[in-house]
Structure formats: C-alpha cells, structure tokens
Chains A and B, each alone.
Chain A
C-alpha cells in the first residue's frame, strides 16, 4: 500500500486521488451501460424471432446479417456489390451536405449583406424549411431524373435549415466587434471576412452536424424512388421481394455510416475549438 502511495506524484493529495478514481469509475460505468444496452438489444433481436415470439420474416436476425453482407460483397449480373451501394450513398451524402454548406453560407452571407433581402425572404425561408421535403421525391424524380433527383433531395432537405442557422449565427456576432473593425475603417467585405465569418465558426460546425444527418436522410429517401444503386435502393428492393436480410444489412450499414460521420464531425469540431 505504502509503495503505491510513494509511486504517485507528490502533488496529488489523497482526496484528489480518490476523486479522480471515482471520476474514472463513473466514466467507465457510462460506457459499460451504453455497451450493455447495445448487447441486450442485439440479443433480443436474435432470440425473440428464433423463439417465434416475433415473426422472423419481418425482422430477420443479427446473425443472418453477416452472411448476407459477405454474400453481397460480390456483384452479380442483377445486383451491384454492397460496397458499390454503400459508396454511392456516402458520396451522394457528402456531395449533399458540402453543397448545402457552401450554398447555404453564400445565401446567409447575401441575406446579411442586404438586410432588405432578408426582410423580404424571411417568411418564405421559414415555410420552405417547415415543408416536408420528402413529399417532393416523386416530383424531383420527374424534374431531375434518376441520379440528380437524389442530390436534389439531399440538398433540398438540408439547405433551408443551414441558411437559417448560419444567418442566425451571423446576426449573433457581437455588434461591438463590428464597431471596432469599423473604427479602423473596415468596409463590409472586410467585416464579413475578418469578423462575421470567423466569429461564426461554432455555428458553421453546428450547421454541419445538423445537415450531415439530414443529407443522409435526403439521399436514402431519394434512392427509394429513383435508383438501382445505394442503400436506400437496397432497403426498397429488399422489402419488395420480402428479403429482410437485405433490408437489415442495409440499415445496419446506414447506422455505421452515420456513426462514422458523427465521429468525423466531432473530431473536426475538437480540432477547430482548440483554437478558441
């Protein structure tokens, strides 16, 4: 016992060491609970259909997903490989939220620049944002065709909320910081570049978080209608021929893709916020 005490850095007092240990324990407990929840869910999903408590035709099993996944790794004449499906969805999502960020920031900057423009467009933006964009999937299909309608839906579903969020961020920049820049003789363009945009970085990241998720939704529902490629298409196809294995494999990959996207954005946020 005394040996351990001697090895510990002298600066750490006993109560502080205890506190640190409790802190670490409670952190581990949360992780364990999260993991346990996932395991319980997977066990129920595996066992309940096998015991015929729920119909396996509706839910498939976790253990059926892996063989299905492995089987789909190779393309057949009728069906592209699972990698191709996943890649199509991921690329369309990245294109969707990148476009939403770029176009959304540009529109928000225009609204900031011309206040009258914002006053005129404000109600339309709010209504456009509140519209159930997924209702437009069939219309987009007619207007834009099979591929473009997916990008279109991905953009439509995330653009308006992006504009509203970023514009709000621009408005939230301390007017005194703008006054300070003006006292040095800054023009509107300099204020945008040196004060408003860098001051809105936390908002930009928050908007990215929101619209990465929304873009994925847009891509998947777009694919329901109009594609022969993509995870949305696989879900649609699998349920039409009543092969839940395919549906659940696609859904599982979607869950993994959105987790990875979340982690990537969280890492970006941490990197940016270290500077603040």
Chain B
C-alpha cells in the first residue's frame, strides 16, 4: 500500500474557556491516499471545520497526531492549500494581486508566480479581470479567484471548507462541477468539508460521516458510480441511479432531527 498523503492518528481537540472545557473532536483516525477526493460531513457544530484547521497546521491537536507524507504537522505547510467558506479577497488588492498573496507571503520568485497566476486566472475565465477589484466581480467569479489563489502556490493537498456555502444555489452547482474538474485534472488530494449531502456524493470518492459533538468518525462510505467512462461529472453523478441510494444512506447516518 502506498504511503498515505494525509493521516490522522487518534486526533482529539479540546477548547478551554473560563466556563469549562469543550471536547470538539475525539479519537479521529483516517487516511487519505494521494490524489483521493474525500468529503467529510456531519451535523452542524460537530467540529468539521476544526478538522481542517488541524490538518492545515493552524492549530495543534490536544491528542494524537496529524501526518502529511508521513511527517507530523507542526505548522502551516506549503503542500497544503486551504480554501475557506468565503473568498475573503482583500478589497484593496486587484484580482491578480489577490491571487499572488500566497506567493508573496512564502517569498516565492514573483515573476514566475505572476505568470502562473495569470495563467490560472485566464484558464478560469477571469483573463480580462486581472486588474479589477474584487467588488467588481460576482460571487462565483470571486470564489474562482479564491481557487486560483489557493492553487497558485501549487499545493499537493487542497482543503475545502464549505467553499460554496456563501453562493446562490445555481452558482453553487456550476462552481462545484468546475472546481471538481480542475482538482481532479490536477490530481490534487482533496478534503472537502460540507453539510450538503448532495455535494459530498457528487464530488467525492469517499465520504466520512462524523457524529455530533464531540465529533468522532461514525462511518465511511466509498462512492462508486457504474459509469462507462470513469468518474462522472458532478452533474451526471446527481442524475445517476446510485446518487439517491447514497443520499438516503448518508441522510440516515447523519440522524438529523429538526428539534435540535
């Protein structure tokens, strides 16, 4: 078996506050293979987003260890790109300058980075907007800039934290398809956090379900479609017969009740 790209070993996280401590995540173990696309779903407040903070090295776990390529994570890692819930584009920077943020911070050679940023933005249909300001762009375009910003530093692993939650539902479907295609083509290892079951089933190859707080791994589900030509696009996946079966299974796993 090849080495896991990302490995979580008995990871736990507790927050401390004056009113007491909160156990957010408990004894979480799973691995993600190189090039795999994994979705993590769970009830709201189960610590899904916290999981990404741990993998990205922004916060250390209180128990266990996170490994990337077999090495323990001790801080932000250049192999990891992190896409947050909103684009968080800097309103004082142009689209191109926003895309270059990571390269600037990491002290990368700027001429090369600029070339790559231009190329990415052009590929995502933003070629004419390089010198526009974020406020001149629509929500979907802004999120594409955020993707370019994430990929500009050429990470192997991409963490997506509900990246479409701020968008309207049409844009959301279109962008999910687009981003999935881009990440697959570039063979990135992807961990997607979402509360949207349909999004998880249509985008990921494997879905990990977390319990409510403290978040623990409840079950894992491989998502396979009987399609002729490999993995279907997200839109095709939504129409496949298996989609509804997976959807129903995951819905029952989540065990959501309106009362809470």
Contact = CB atoms under 8 A, between A and B. Distances in A.
Contacts of B101: 180-181, 184, 194
Interface in B74-102: 75-76, 78, 80-82, 84-86, 88, 90-93, 101-102
Interface in A169-211: 174, 176-177, 179-186, 190, 194-195, 198-199, 201
B58 A179 contact: yes
A180 B133 contact: no
A27 interface: no
Given A179-B84, A195-B90, A276 B78 contact: no
B92 A199 contact: yes
A201 B58 CA distance: 27
A194 B105 contact: yes
Given A177-B88, A275-B133, A185 B82 contact: no
B117 to A, nearest CB: 14
Interface residues of B, number: 24
Nearest to A181: B105
Given A194-B104, A194-B105, A276-B135, A183 B91 contact: no
B194 interface: no
Contacts of A177: 88, 90
B106 interface: yes
B153 interface: yes
Contacts of A275: 92, 133
A276 B132 CA distance: 10
Contacts of B133: 275-276
A243 B56 CA distance: 74
A195 to B, nearest CB: 7
Name the prevailing secondary structure of the A interface residues. helix
A181 B153 CA distance: 13
Contact of B82 (A174, A183, A195): A183
Given A176-B86, A179-B84, A184 B92 contact: no
The residue among B56, B75, B84, B90 with the most chain A CB atoms within 10 A of its own CB is B90
Contacts of B102: 184
Interface in B99-155: 101-102, 104-106, 133, 135, 153
A184 B76 contact: yes
Contacts of B153: 184
Contacts of A199: 90, 92
Contacts, number: 52
A185 B105 contact: yes
Given A198-B92, A275-B92, A276-B133, A185 B76 contact: yes
Nearest to A180: B88
A181 B80 CA distance: 13
Given A194-B101, A276-B133, A276-B135, A183 B76 contact: yes
A174 B89 CA distance: 11
B88 A176 contact: yes
A185 B58 CA distance: 9
Contact of B106 (A180, A185, A198, A276): A185
A90 to B, nearest CB: 31
Nearest to B91: A276
B104 A174 contact: no
Contacts of B105: 181, 184-186, 190, 194
A46 to B, nearest CB: 50
Given A177-B88, A201-B92, A276-B133, A182 B58 contact: yes
Contacts of A186: 105
Given A179-B84, A198-B90, A275-B133, 10 more contacts: A176-B85, A176-B86, A177-B90, A180-B82, A183-B56, A184-B101, A185-B75, A186-B105, A194-B104, A276-B92
30 contacts: A174-B88, A176-B84, A176-B86, A176-B88, A177-B88, A179-B58, A180-B88, A180-B101, A181-B101, A181-B105, A183-B56, A183-B80, A183-B81, A183-B82, A184-B76, A184-B106, A185-B76, A185-B78, A185-B105, A186-B105, A190-B105, A194-B101, A194-B104, A194-B105, A198-B93, A199-B92, A275-B92, A275-B133, A276-B92, A276-B133
Interface of A: 174, 176-177, 179-186, 190, 194-195, 198-199, 201, 275-276
- Please list the 10 inter-chain residue pairs (A to B) with the smallest Cβ-Cβ separation, ordered nearest first: A183-B82, A184-B102, A185-B76, A184-B105, A186-B105, A198-B92, A180-B88, A177-B88, A176-B88, A276-B91
